[in-house]
Amino acid sequence: MPLIEDHHYLKTCAKLASSLSISISAARRKVEVAAAKEGKKDLQSRKEIAQKILEQTLNDDKKQSLSASASFDQLLKALKEDENFMLED
pLDDT in tens, 7-41: 899 999 999 998 888 999 999 999 999 999 999 88
| Res. 79: pLDDT tops 70 | no
- What domain range is 44 assigned to? 7-64
Q: How many domains does one find in the chain?
A: 1
**Sign of the dihedral through C-alpha 20, 71, 56, 37:** positive
Answer whether 35's CB lies under 8 Å from 45's CB. Answer: yes
- Helix%, strand%, coil% for the chain, nearest 5: 70, 0, 30
Residue 57's SS3 state is helix
The answer to whether residue 42 is domain-embedded is yes
Q: Is residue 17 a part of any domain in this protein? A: yes
Structural domain includes residue 78: no
- Asked if residues 14 and 27 have their Cβ atoms less than 8 Å apart, the reply is yes
Contact 12, 49 (CB under 8 A): no
Asked if pLDDT for residue 71 goes beyond 80, the answer is no
Kindly state the average pLDDT of the residues 72-81.
70
In a domain, 30, yes or no: yes
45 occurs within a structural domain: yes
